[in-house]
Structure 1
């Protein structure tokens, strides 16, 4: 135990840099030296002696490869030739490590047993390829290592389907390194485990040894993993934004965004190499009875050659500008990869598409963008070989560009491709699916520059679409769709869509163009689905659909239908509150979305206590509308539980009644709840207030928009601040975006007019409440 404790202390001293902070690579080397020194001493003390043949201590895994990162398990094998004392030796080695809480993956086997396990367990077979001698009988270690490699070379090809299946399941669980906002450095597609696959295939002499680009990618992944674990002081391999800032600083990158682009590029290099390696070894092109594979025509100049898309024998890339797009479209449509030789041939001789593109090239592009999931791999293949940049030079600004918002799951380029995948499912909902797909591909093309990405993207997309050769009207529509791609989502979730002024503003913005409106509706859905989990819901879809329907009424000159009146149950609730003099509650739900109606007598505070009680029950408010009836008022909330289920209506009613009467200390209870659920400290932007004067139809009413970090009870505090500042609230919309919110309120002065002094008083109060 003393020995193990000393080892742990020595490892901690290295991590803490008491004698000078080591770089990532130097730290790994120092850890390897430390563990090797301790294990050799411990092995000798346990009875593993090089002078006494028959027992050897062998390292595999990270220690075997000399790539040991902080807080990694030690992978050790105690190899023996039927030594009668092997159990005692093993206990003497393992127990000090366990007592020191050092992770240990261990086994005790004869060479024959180890090889037998390797025939049954793929992980063991690949692990033995890294076997390296630590102590004891070196000849025994060499015999095992040589036999393990020989066995792998003989059996590797038969085990490739198992290897491919294992890799695919891992990728499905862990996602990708490339283009991911939170990459898994070890298990993600394009990560360290995939580099292990390439090494294993090279040992089996099925592919060449990884070259310079892959070795650089490996070094970066190891360095990032090393610094991540050093900063967190534990074994973690998923890099999130807060840790990325620290890791980037330690590795000398300007910020986490530069690091993210480097990591994405490394992941793409490794992922592409693994794809090509597995494709060429697991299922190489072949035909019946070992003959040459059949060549099935897919398009003009394009064939299916075995399991790959390839050029037909009579294809002449230099004379066929649209051939590149037909190849990509065939690959995306069939879900079949493009042959590496075909990509090389196209890169070497495919001519540039001149402005305007020929009609067959435009048709092939539409087919490519509308192909669905197959588009992702097709674009990746073209991008890796520089062919995508020939088609869209503007792509360079967004390639591997990390997202600034935490709600995005992908880099900007992958998000654009993913939006096309989602838009392809909606092409039957619009009259111009070709324009929808182009808008999906280009809607965020303006990101990564110091400008409003929607406005800049509109200008860039206009150039792109003009180059492709679409008519002026179509070019203008795509440009407008890019400029306004956030319009419907922002309006539906941040404004009262029952307001005639809101609907008229949208109709005017889209210039009463019905085709543009339907493209924007489909693009809004595709963009949300491609952003990340939870960004599209039935509730959001309903809001957008309702907004579009009301805009359609205006465009057709039918006039807007009146807002839905309070229903009978809501009116009865208000009347009950007036008779009792207490707050009353009515809850109904559809799925996870609930409608909570809170009623009070006229003149009684409503929004703040209502929002506070809902926050106590972990209900996330999405909208709040205040309506009057007789001598009472109601606040109609749409809300959903952040976790768990909806609260008990009896308890909610009791607490709301107490809150309205002033008998429930909401401020203290919310503060306690915030302490209990406090997230890790993070740097947050200061709250900001924006004013919009022309977005309500009511007299003397303006929209106040608050942008701030999310926190428990924020709506309660802001509602109280508005009331204290003499601002009456007509409706509220709450949009939560990761750790931030955009809360909008239609407000008017109580007993006065909207003027500068009132605005300043309200703004100061709201910012103070949100800070």
Structure 2
């Protein structure tokens, strides 16, 4: 084949691919209803092109006609070709002798090069029948590829021989392959995480993804039993994820299976979803069903040597074949609490609820629309107190729509995505994770039952329109009495919902040495019991949210805040816990000696210099030049005209060059560093971070919090994060004659939320209206 002819075929192929993509994008093939039809259509188009290439290649090399065949394998073999999928093909031959590859090479080149020229990522191999069979017996990937292989062109009998012998080999080595397949499934799931609950799910490799279904089907070929009704559900959910994958490929025009935040809006529009939330809800629903059914069938079919012996758990509940079942005498209609009894037993024995029992409960359990049955609330609490063992059980109940029957208010939160910079789980999974985390902290509170219930309900309002905290408070006022809680306990749960963000927000945005900070939190909570509950809930909630929501720095601040508030609620004087000597004695000596000094202890950088309004912004600028994020900052000055500033930074994982940083800080203090110019240069060359949240932050905002401090004016600035933004903000503050006494700096996704405690140069609060307007004007200009 000539190069020109190859390019002609390539152009035709590209046109066919684009036409199929246009048809899907225009709704010719509904992706929201599933992607299998699209994938088959694209596979058919590609089949015709590959056959044409093969015919042309053999025509140019007629001596090998009848001795070759080309097979579609892998996803292409299944007819599941997405727009940016790899094209997996196998060229088999029966040519013998040392010169076999030399004879076949012109045909292989005539096949592969047009595919590469078309921009297709090609998975290809050339093998003799014997080589193909050897690999199929020893290599898991080669063996599974042949399970869905199909003939494309060439000698059909040769292709049939390879396919039939490959299937026979799989059966012969079933036991060995089954174990290897199961191990690979677990390893892949652990690495990729859950499709259903991740902010950016891996549609192919995640737990509950396409590969899970494929692996189960391969295992089924080895004799693993899969329930017929599960095959129907798996096929439906698999088709859903295929549709999402096609929409992702069409909208991004690039390969990949991770549905990133910045691609979700475009993918939903391309695929025909109402919006990205609807898309992600479908992904979550399909992913959780696949994960549950796949785990159920693997677990049921793979024998366990350490299964507990059969025994009666309670009246109506038995442990049988390693699963919790209803006994023959059990009657869910007369004893509705059996569903929670079975759930508690499953969690405590770390096993599943049997499928027959789940089906029976689904058929016989009526919704709990009124007051809960006597004892039901205690059983729910007992289930939640089992911690993370309860999550798999709750998932099983939810798969049969049982949890929402017990708690109808739960329904809007099922599979609801949280497309923001903080959360990694859907709302329902987040609440279960928070409750499981809370179960590990019950030793810190006097009411473990209220702690786990508060964790379960704290974000219940997110499934409803409006402010989720206000809505959640109203829901708990309705749910609490239905559970049988006393009015006092309901009030406590409502307070936990109302204030579930209070401690982390105050700890990270306010000055904990300010009397007003401690007094306001103490007044809001009112008792040590509520403080302890909220303190534990804060940790449980933050850990369930994601790594950006909890760390040693935030834990330290929250613990400090809680300890000070506890002192006040216990009858202590607020002044006893808000006075703090800053800076430390060593720094005070340097200030007394009127020396310029730059020092560091772990993540705390201290700068001593003559008192000047520009020092704070200079230090902030240098830290930004070195790519260091600031968490909090404090400033202190004495009567001799010396000042000290302390900056707590995020230590980079790769380490930092302290010598270089110290040198630049010293140069900046001596006014020898062109900070502004360097920040502009860094902004030009800085590689912008990938977008980390679904929606853009709102417009910049400057807010004065007049009641937040007893001795300073508190200014909060919200804006899109940029290189050097803290430097520009603090420079603007300094130019308006303000001293920064304390600062808290927080970055949430693409937005900074910076809080500054300031006083005038005379040490007064900022009360003049004109001055405030000018401050607001300057700060908005600084962050624009």
Q: TM-score, normalised by structure 2?
A: 0.90
Kindly state the Cα deviation for residue 44 of structure 1 after the two structures are TM-superposed.
3.2
Aligned to 1:340: 355
Kindly state the Cα deviation for residue 158 of structure 1 after the two structures are TM-superposed.
6.0
The counterpart of 2:280, out of the listed 238, 260, 266, is 260
Q: Unaligned 5+ residue runs, structure 1? A: 288-292
Aligned length: 754
Between the aligned partners of 1:550 and 1:149, the Cα distance in structure 2 is: 69
Aligned to 1:679: 688
2:613–2:735 Cα contact (<8 Å) kept: no
The counterpart of 1:538, out of the listed 543, 547, 552, is 552
Between the aligned partners of 2:280 and 2:532, the Cα distance in structure 1 is: 35
1:50–1:137 Cα contact (<8 Å) kept: no
1:292-333 deviation per Cα after TM superposition (whole angstroms, max 9, x unaligned): x95223344322212222123432222222111111122222
| Structure 2 residue 710 is the aligned partner of structure 1 residue 697 | yes
The counterpart of 2:260, out of the listed 240, 262, 265, is 240
Aligned to 2:584: 567
| Structure 2 residue 144 is the aligned partner of structure 1 residue 126 | yes
Between the aligned partners of 1:284 and 1:268, the Cα distance in structure 2 is: 24
Aligned to 1:770: 783
Between the aligned partners of 2:397 and 2:570, the Cα distance in structure 1 is: 45
Between the aligned partners of 2:465 and 2:760, the Cα distance in structure 1 is: 38
1:333-358 deviation per Cα after TM superposition (whole angstroms, max 9, x unaligned): 22211111010111122355575434
Between 225-234 and 609-618, the greater mean CA deviation after superposition: 225-234
In structure 2, relative to structure 1, the CA distance for the partners of 1:329 and 1:564 (3 Å cut) is farther
1:605–1:660 Cα contact (<8 Å) kept: no
- Where do residues 174-573 of structure 1 align in structure 2 (5 Å cutoff)? 174-203=192-221, 206-207=225-226, 208=228, 213-283=233-303, 294-353=309-368, 355-358=370-373, 360-511=375-526, 513-559=527-573, 560-561=576-577, 562-573=579-590
1:729-760 deviation per Cα after TM superposition (whole angstroms, max 9, x unaligned): 22110122222221111123445741332222
Aligned to 1:644: 654
**Secondary structure at the residue paired with 2:244?**
helix
Between 613-622 and 81-90, the greater mean CA deviation after superposition: 81-90
1:606–1:660 Cα contact (<8 Å) kept: yes
Between 368-377 and 559-568, the greater mean CA deviation after superposition: 559-568
**Secondary structure at the residue paired with 1:736?**
strand
1:529–1:536 Cα contact (<8 Å) kept: yes
- Where do residues 552-631 of structure 1 align in structure 2 (5 Å cutoff)? 552-559=566-573, 560-561=576-577, 562-576=579-593, 578-579=594-595, 583-589=596-602, 594-603=603-612, 605-629=614-638, 630-631=640-641
Aligned to 1:736: 747
Kindly state the Cα deviation for residue 51 of structure 1 after the two structures are TM-superposed.
9.6
2:507–2:561 Cα contact (<8 Å) kept: yes
2:178–2:219 Cα contact (<8 Å) kept: no
2:73–2:90 Cα contact (<8 Å) kept: yes
2:635–2:742 Cα contact (<8 Å) kept: yes
Q: Unaligned 5+ residue runs, structure 2? A: 26-30
Between the aligned partners of 1:474 and 1:721, the Cα distance in structure 2 is: 49
Kindly state the Cα deviation for residue 414 of structure 1 after the two structures are TM-superposed.
0.9
| Structure 2 residue 163 is the aligned partner of structure 1 residue 145 | yes
Between the aligned partners of 1:172 and 1:6, the Cα distance in structure 2 is: 45
Aligned to 1:667: 676
2:438–2:451 Cα contact (<8 Å) kept: yes
Between 617-626 and 557-566, the greater mean CA deviation after superposition: 557-566
Kindly state the Cα deviation for residue 29 of structure 1 after the two structures are TM-superposed.
4.5
In structure 2, relative to structure 1, the CA distance for the partners of 1:388 and 1:181 (3 Å cut) is same
1:355–1:469 Cα contact (<8 Å) kept: no
Kindly state the Cα deviation for residue 455 of structure 1 after the two structures are TM-superposed.
1.9
1:184–1:191 Cα contact (<8 Å) kept: yes
Kindly state the Cα deviation for residue 278 of structure 1 after the two structures are TM-superposed.
1.5
1:430-473 deviation per Cα after TM superposition (whole angstroms, max 9, x unaligned): 11111110111111111133322112212212322221112221
Between the aligned partners of 2:546 and 2:444, the Cα distance in structure 1 is: 22
Between the aligned partners of 2:479 and 2:613, the Cα distance in structure 1 is: 58
In structure 2, relative to structure 1, the CA distance for the partners of 1:295 and 1:210 (3 Å cut) is closer
- Where do residues 66-81 of structure 1 align in structure 2 (5 Å cutoff)? 66-81=79-94
**Secondary structure at the residue paired with 2:198?**
coil
| Structure 2 residue 643 is the aligned partner of structure 1 residue 633 | yes
In structure 2, relative to structure 1, the CA distance for the partners of 1:329 and 1:601 (3 Å cut) is same
| Structure 2 residue 106 is the aligned partner of structure 1 residue 92 | yes
In structure 2, relative to structure 1, the CA distance for the partners of 1:688 and 1:148 (3 Å cut) is same
The counterpart of 2:50, out of the listed 39, 42, 66, is 39
Q: CA RMSD in A?
A: 2.8
Between 633-642 and 305-314, the greater mean CA deviation after superposition: 305-314
Between the aligned partners of 1:730 and 1:545, the Cα distance in structure 2 is: 22
Does 1 or 2 have the higher relative contact order (CA < 8 Å, sep 6+)? Answer: 2
Between 168-177 and 137-146, the greater mean CA deviation after superposition: 137-146
1:199–1:209 Cα contact (<8 Å) kept: no
Between 352-361 and 137-146, the greater mean CA deviation after superposition: 352-361
Kindly state the Cα deviation for residue 365 of structure 1 after the two structures are TM-superposed.
1.0
In structure 2, relative to structure 1, the CA distance for the partners of 1:54 and 1:654 (3 Å cut) is closer
Between 488-497 and 636-645, the greater mean CA deviation after superposition: 636-645
Between the aligned partners of 2:756 and 2:713, the Cα distance in structure 1 is: 8
**Secondary structure at the residue paired with 1:585?**
strand
Between the aligned partners of 1:713 and 1:109, the Cα distance in structure 2 is: 58
1:611-665 deviation per Cα after TM superposition (whole angstroms, max 9, x unaligned): 11111111111111111133201111111134521331x4333322332343311
Between the aligned partners of 1:320 and 1:377, the Cα distance in structure 2 is: 23
1:322–1:353 Cα contact (<8 Å) kept: no
In structure 2, relative to structure 1, the CA distance for the partners of 1:738 and 1:11 (3 Å cut) is farther
Kindly state the Cα deviation for residue 108 of structure 1 after the two structures are TM-superposed.
3.3
2:181–2:219 Cα contact (<8 Å) kept: no
2:51–2:152 Cα contact (<8 Å) kept: yes
2:21–2:83 Cα contact (<8 Å) kept: no
Kindly state the Cα deviation for residue 686 of structure 1 after the two structures are TM-superposed.
1.7
Between the aligned partners of 1:154 and 1:284, the Cα distance in structure 2 is: 23
In structure 2, relative to structure 1, the CA distance for the partners of 1:744 and 1:759 (3 Å cut) is same
1:369–1:424 Cα contact (<8 Å) kept: yes
Between 497-506 and 158-167, the greater mean CA deviation after superposition: 158-167
In structure 2, relative to structure 1, the CA distance for the partners of 1:334 and 1:265 (3 Å cut) is same
Between the aligned partners of 2:16 and 2:266, the Cα distance in structure 1 is: 18
